[in-house]
Amino acid sequence: MDALVELAGVRKSFGNALALAPTDLQFERGKTTVLIGPSGCGKSTLLRIIVGLVTPDNGTIVFNGNAITPEALQDFRRRVGYVIQEGGLFPHLTARDNVLLLARHLRRAADVRLNELSCLARFDEQLLNRYPAELSGGQRQRVSLMRALALSPELLLLDEPLGALDPLVRASLQRDLKEIFARLRQTTILVTHDLAEAAYLGDTIVLMNNGRIVQRGTLRDLQETPVDRFVTEFINAQRTLTLS
């Protein structure tokens, strides 16, 4: 596997509560890996450790062959796009200014990419001068995605970005995300609790429970060769899912 990100022995506790057991995991370059599992399983903690928002107690994280150290963290973050639930946009900035915020801070010319990003995210350019409160939930998520892609990141991290959207808007964004991932050959790590979404967007699914990786593979792997009863129970709990 040509891994862009590698975790070795990464562990995290909050007080006496184990959030992530010692974890070894690789994320393949140019592919979408989905972290999925019930609430509190450790999937968002794992994502936040990768982006540097949470410091692990033990273990190492390697990005593109180099260990991510505290000294290298800022440079690493500039090579990563990060989207959270409900977008995380600054309410006092227009959509345009939200998209260009980091690029302007780093004095990089990203204005010329606005048209490209708007087309990529299917965002109406006439809305760029609106503030987040004047946009729908789906539009805000598209702005957040544009901001994350503005500096052409090597790694894109998505933490349940579609969880708060209604089903029709969510389905539309799922289709667009799938197309974006394929067009950009983007290395992506996506956190979700929705198995249908994981199956639709992911090349690899990593099922977690109680801070541990239970099984990794395709949806078919999880359905046909579950490693234990929890895998089957998790799949059966989402009965609307069908293989395509």
Question: How does residue 244 score in pLDDT terms, banded at 50, 70 and 90?
Answer: very low
Q: Name the β-bridge partners of 155.
A: 80, 187
- Average pLDDT value for residue range 171-197: 93
pLDDT at residue 234 in the model: 94
Please give the model's pTM, rounded to 2 decimal places.
Answer: 0.92
Residue-wise pLDDT for 137-147, tens only, equals 999 999 999 99
Give the CATH number of the domain where residue 168 resides. Answer: 3.40.50.300
User: Under a CB-based contact definition with an 8 Å cutoff, are residues 63 and 155 in contact?
Assistant: yes
Contact yes or no for 17/40 (Cβ under 8 A): no
What is the domain extent for residue 105? 30-52+71-236
Task: Give domain status of residue 152, yes or no.
Answer: yes
Predicted local confidence at residue 222, as pLDDT: 95
CA–CA distance, 126 with 144 (Å, rounded to integer): 16
* 111 pLDDT tier (thresholds 50, 70, 90): low
* Count of CB atoms situated within 10 Å of the CB of 207: 27
The residue assigned the tokens 């579950």 is: 226
116 domain residue, yes or no: yes
Residue 24 lies in a domain: no
- Backbone phi, then psi, for 123, in 5-degree steps? -110, 125
- 196 within a domain of the structure (yes/no): yes
> Looking at the domain assignment, is residue 60 inside a domain?
no
State the average pLDDT for the chain: 91
Number of domains in the chain: 1
The answer to whether 155 and 81 are in contact (CB under 8 A) is yes
Domain assignment present for 228: yes
Look at residue 189 and tell me if it is in a domain.
yes
Give residue 108's pLDDT band: very low, low, confident or very high (50, 70, 90). Answer: low
The answer on pLDDT for 136 being more than 60 is yes
Q: Please check whether residue 1 lies inside any domain of the structure.
A: no
Per-residue confidence band for 85, with pLDDT thresholds at 50, 70 and 90: confident
